[in-house]
Amino acid sequence: MESVFEVIAEPNRRAILSLLAGSQQSVGEIERSLRMPQPAVSKHLRVLRDAGFVESTVDAQRRLYRLKPGPFQEFDEWLAQFRRFWSAHIDALERHLEKMDEPTPRKKIVKNAKAKKGEGK
Amino acid sequence: MESVFEVIAEPNRRAILSLLAGSQQSVGEIERSLRMPQPAVSKHLRVLRDAGFVESTVDAQRRLYRLKPGPFQEFDEWLAQFRRFWSAHIDALERHLEKMDEPTPRKKIVKNAKAKKGEGK
DNA sequence: TTCTTATATACGCGTGTCGGCATATACGTG
DNA sequence: CACGTATATGCCGACACGCGTATATAAGAA
């Protein structure tokens, strides 16, 4: 589990992060909110902490977990290289660049294909 | 492979996406650029297409793959719930000033703006 | 101390997924 | 037609991950 992408691939971890986005929570609170066995919560928190998503402070026997910004920034930076693409996707400039950038122009250009649209599996 | 998060958890798939962020590419071009066996490329492209990350058009025997914006928007929306939180360290200053909006602009507002490096453990 | 609460860790199991290889399909050329 | 190119798919082995259960550690209460 090295990359932030693998860490957030897990639905339960994303749920924990969303929960913590509201406010810091103890392990028990997360456990009850998400109805998830406590060892599972602890283990996911361990992964999240190792990846820098969260940090914990001690309150008696409890551990309060809260978010840390680092990995989210990292994710956002990765997304940046595509943001130009999808935000200005209708832009004419985009099409122009696409055409100019076409690597190996064969005889004909596109033939309009439609890949089948089977979503979900 | 149902969620878009699982799809981008794979490093090779992210490499393909980054490549396509530049311009559309054929399978063979991806194969050579990333030095990845062709079946691997096709398999990853299949996953990416099923998840809506890419679409393909037919050019003779080639398939040209290009990005689609959908999933990236989805990431951005997911990130939105945290953006406010982590961007706080970057431009919270402005936000903060906006909020506090003191009637005394003469006061010094900036203390130590940045300096958020290294968390205690 | 002993008991209870709160959290972390260890162990084993099942399953999904990735990589490699072989093969199938599709298109173009001679 | 046969052949080469371009891409897709099927099969299989290996391995990592998440889950459940049991147990360990730690702190407070009695």
Tell me the pLDDT of chain B (121 aa) as tens digits: 889 999 999 999 999 999 999 999 999 999 999 999 999 999 999 999 999 999 999 999 999 999 999 999 999 999 999 988 776 655 555 444 454 544 444 333 333 333 333 333 2
CA distance B97 to chain A (A): 21
CATH code of the domain covering residue A57: 1.10.10.10
Non-local (6+) Cβ contacts of A78 within 8 A are A5, B14
What residues are paired with A64 via a beta bridge?
Answer: A26, A57
> How long is the CA A91 to C1' D15 vector, in angstroms?
45
**B61, B43: one domain:** yes
Determine whether the interchain pair B56/A21 forms a contact, defined as Cβ–Cβ distance below 8 Å. no
CA distance B24 to chain A (A): 7
Contact B63, B56 (CB under 8 A): yes
Touching check for A50 and chain B: CB below 8 Å?
no
**A62, A90: one domain:** no
Q: How many CA atoms lie less than 13 Å away from A91 in the CB half-sphere?
A: 12
User: Is the dihedral angle over the CA atoms B101, B81, B12, A96 positive or is it negative?
Assistant: negative
**B53, B76: one domain:** no
Which stretches of chain A score pLDDT less than 70? Answer: 87-121
> Is A112 within a domain?
no
> Is B114 within a domain?
no
**A62, A20: one domain:** yes
**B43, B93: one domain:** no
> Is B62 within a domain?
yes
**B18, B37: one domain:** yes
Domain that holds residue A61: 4-68
**A52, A20: one domain:** yes
> Is B76 within a domain?
yes
**A24, A39: one domain:** yes
Q: What angle do CA B88, B93, B97 make, to 5 degrees?
A: 125
User: Which of B5, B49, B81, B121 should be substituted to probe chain A, the one whose Cβ sees the most A Cβ atoms within 10 Å?
Assistant: B5
Q: What is the pLDDT of residue A84?
A: 82
Among B59, B70, B86, select the one facing A111 at the smallest CB separation.
Answer: B59
